[in-house]
Amino acid sequence: MNNFKIILIALFVLSAISVNAQPKPKAERPYNILERGQHMTRLSIIKDQRAKENTVQIEAVNASGGTPRIDGPDMVGADITNILATVGSYNKIQEISKTGRGHTLQLQQVVFPLKVRITISNQVLEVLFKEEGFWKITVGMNQ
């Protein structure tokens, strides 16, 4: 009877160890960055949890844009020149602002998942969004 208790305790301990030894699955990101231009020094992608519409807002800013120079041409701001959805779609592009430093656009009425290829000042950013929502992309350029 004593051996039975020892075997039972040993099985219990081994089962507890084997349960704890299993790796926890990593939470999958709701987006993937597939391509990023070399002059994109800062990139932030966040989801606004409060917003209800399916929108992607893209803000591109050149840190040194909009400043006149004594020698040479003025430093130009970041400019969003092309947006191509290769998976999913959007119905409307709305320009939010355009300044000497940068450009902000919104893709509205987005159908997810969305794989979008964005050209900003001759640099390419490609992102795949897996979840619906209001997404904000902020790109800091250094040229």
Q: pLDDT tens across 18-60, in order?
A: 555 556 677 788 999 999 999 999 999 999 999 989 999 999 9
Q: What is the pLDDT of residue 143?
A: 67
Closest CA to 87 of 34, 139, 124, 51: 34
User: Is residue 71 over pLDDT 60?
Assistant: no
State the alpha helices, DSSP H only, in the chain: 2-21
pTM (two decimals) = 0.75
Mean pLDDT of the chain, nearest integer: 85
- What is the Cα–Cα distance from 13 to 28, expressed in whole angstroms? 32
Q: Where are the domains of the chain?
A: 28-141
Kindly state the average pLDDT of the residues 76-91. Answer: 93
